[in-house]
Amino acid sequence: MGGIVLITGATSGIGKACAFKFAQNGFNVIITGRRKERLEALKKELEFKYNITVLPLNFDVRNKDKLQKAFDALDDRWKKIDVLINNAGLALDLKPIHEGDFNDWDTMIDTNIKGLLYMSRMVSELMIINRSGHIINIGSIAGKEVYPSGNVYCATKHAVDGLTKAMRIDLMKHSIKVTQIAPGAVETEFSEVRFRGDNERAKKVYDGYIPLSGKDVAEAVFYVTTLPPHVNINDLVIMPMAQANAMVFHKIS
Active site residues: 153
Say how far apart CA 73 and CA 248 lie, in whole Å. Answer: 47
Give every strand in the sheet of 27-33, ordered side by side: 54-58, 27-33, 3-7, 83-86, 133-138, 176-183, 235-238
What is the CA angle 30-81-38, rounded to 5?
Answer: 10
How does DSSP assign 224-246, residue by residue?
HTSS-TT----EEEE--TTBSSS
Helices (DSSP H) in 51-150: which residue ranges? 64-72, 102-109, 116-130
> For the CA atoms of the chain, what is the radius of gyration?
18
